[in-house]
Amino acid sequence: MKKTLTFIAALLCFYMANAQGLAGSSAVSETQDVQGEITEFPFEVLQNSMNASLAKSGRALGVINSDGSIYVIGRATSARASNLPGFIRSKNNAYNIAEMAAKMQILQMAGEQITSGRGYELLRNQVNGEDPDLSKEAQELLNSMEKQEVGRQDFNMKVSTLVSGMLQGCAVVRMAEGEMGNNDYQVAVCVKYSPEYQAMARLMKKGDLAGKVPTGKAKNSREKVMTMPEEDLLYKMGSWVTYDENGNMVVYGYGQEEVRETGSRLSAAITTAQNKARLYAVNNVKNFVAEDMICNEVIDDVEKFREYSDGTQAYFSSSKFSQAVEARSTTLNIATQNVRTWRSTHPVSGTIVVGAIVCWTFENAAAARELRQQIDDNSRLSGGSGAKKGQPTTKGQIVITGDDDDL
């Protein structure tokens, strides 16, 4: 017994010594380093940043806070790699997908229509010997089969959800994006939905300039926008809400577009890209005011398992997920003011990018209304659609033009 214990103790010491030596080897160190390396995605960086910022005021992500505000994050990956032409366009599309995904989450928080069903089937088929009631031909056929099904397990489940609604007053508060390597460029967007944003959106939608613009802490936001470095503007898209020097709420729209270099007429390409960027910016302001959305998600899971008389097995599994979000076409009359155009080079793709910034302010909306009134008045004075009706006309001479030579 004593010899056995001594042998076990010696074996244990030998094992521990070798384990320590192995743990210190370069091969194991490299393996440990690989296993411990976790890629942090833009979505996670943005989530951590927002959690830290909101915690200071007792608010949180993904909940209806005590002040009525909601903060949610959506994310998407560009379909085009960052080192290929068309990346900026694809990145813009990823932003739009991320923003719509965030808005879908807000609608889901208000309740969603869920349809689901599931089921399974089990079968055990054990047979010994030959059935005397079977005909000789049928028995020979069964014996000639290589394998017969003796066991089965099938499962299926389908879940679908549907949400829809008009969102008014939803704006971007923070973004994160970056290249993860291996053609993986992610864009993450945090949007805010709040009572004061909704009040501003209603005012903009109605064009009711007699209404009261929401107020907050006075900021020199316009100067900040005008002096922001172009390399920072590369990462601002969508609609952003801030306050002017008098504390009145202002809505800014950001848009950008890449310049397709053709070797000639670069100025024309830049002009076209700037026009498109302005339209994107105006549309982002419009989406802040109102967006009628419908969202649908579907899960369809199937699993099949078979056992056969010859001992073989077969397995099949299918899991489908689909997500569809649509913002229905709507038309609004909104007067925006051009604030700034800019041009820069994207640090990852090396592509020339141009951008445009527009804004909606109470003062500009009032001035725009006066301008519209002047234009309408001039149209009426010049005999436009608002001109007074004249006397009925009388029958006149019929004039025909054209020569046979032209036929």
Q: Please give the full DSSP string across 367-393, using - where no structure is assigned.
A: HHHHHHHHHHHHHHHTTSTTSPP-PPP
- Lowest mean per-residue pLDDT among 146-155, 263-272, 383-392: 383-392
Given a contact cutoff of 8 angstroms between Cβ atoms, the answer to whether 285 and 253 are in contact is: yes
Nearest to 235 by CA among 185, 197, 276: 185
Residue 103 has phi, psi (to 5 degrees) of: -65, -35
Q: Please give the full DSSP string across 54-65, using - where no structure is assigned.
A: HHTTT--TTSB-
The per-residue pLDDT for 139 is: 63
Mean pLDDT value of segment 196-216: 84
The per-residue pLDDT for 373 is: 79
Q: 277: pLDDT confidence band, cut at 50, 70 and 90?
A: very high
Residue 17: is its pLDDT beyond 90? Answer: no
Give me the amino acid identity at 176: A
CA–CA dist 41, 5 (Å, integer) = 53
Helix (H, G, I), strand (E, B) or coil at 41: coil
Residue 253: is its pLDDT beyond 90? Answer: yes
Mean pLDDT value of segment 283-288: 94
Q: Please give the full DSSP string across 96-155, using - where no structure is assigned.
A: HHHHHHHHHHHHHHT--EEEEEEEEEEEE----S--TTS-HHHHHHHHH-S--EEEEEEE
Residue 36: is its pLDDT beyond 70? Answer: no
215 or 263, which is more confident: 215
Helix (H, G, I), strand (E, B) or coil at 339: strand
> In the 8-state DSSP scheme, what is residue 80?
S
User: In this prediction, what percent of the chain has a pLDDT beyond 70?
Assistant: 78
Given a contact cutoff of 8 angstroms between Cβ atoms, the answer to whether 186 and 42 are in contact is: yes
Average pLDDT value for the chain: 83
H helix and E strand count, the chain: 10, 11
The per-residue pLDDT for 40 is: 86
Query: What sign does the dihedral 377-379-382-388 (CA atoms) show?
Result: negative
Per domain, the residue ranges of the chain are: 194-290+332-384
Strand segments, DSSP code E, in 229-269 are 238-243, 249-258
Mean pLDDT value of segment 60-76: 95
Q: 198: pLDDT confidence band, cut at 50, 70 and 90?
A: very high
Mean pLDDT value of segment 123-136: 69
Residue 220: is its pLDDT beyond 70? Answer: yes
The per-residue pLDDT for 311 is: 84
Give me the amino acid identity at 399: V
Mean pLDDT value of segment 166-194: 93
